[in-house]
Amino acid sequence: MLTAAQLKAARALLGIDQRTLAETAGLSLPTIQRMETSEGTIRGNVDSLVKLIAALDAAGVELIGEGATSKGGGRGVRLKG
């Protein structure tokens, strides 16, 4: 699962804007905007979520899920090592 905060943080780590992420993921700009304004976990079309997560993964972002091993605990994002 991906949260709006994780999505914003991932974009910030990559130094890209919403439009660039939309183009990279093969999604529309309004879709990315809607996802980022979601409260908590992003809900949406499964295909869109898969495309988004794949694009972030390909760009070098690792999503840290709730309960995953992380020094700080909780959800987050980091660049792949």
Q: Mention the CATH class of domain 4-79.
A: mainly alpha
pTM of the shown model: 0.85
| Contact of 80 with 70, CB cutoff 8 Å | no
Condensed to tens digits (0 to 9), the pLDDT of residues 4-29 reads 999 999 999 999 999 999 999 999 99
Taking a C-beta distance cutoff of 8 angstroms, is the pair 64, 77 a contact? Answer: yes
**Among residues 61, 28, 33, which one has the least CA distance to residue 47?**
28
Alpha helices in the chain (DSSP H): 4-14, 18-25, 29-36, 46-59
**What is the average pLDDT across 62-71?**
70
Residue 11 confidence (pLDDT): 97
Query: Residue 67, SS3?
Result: coil
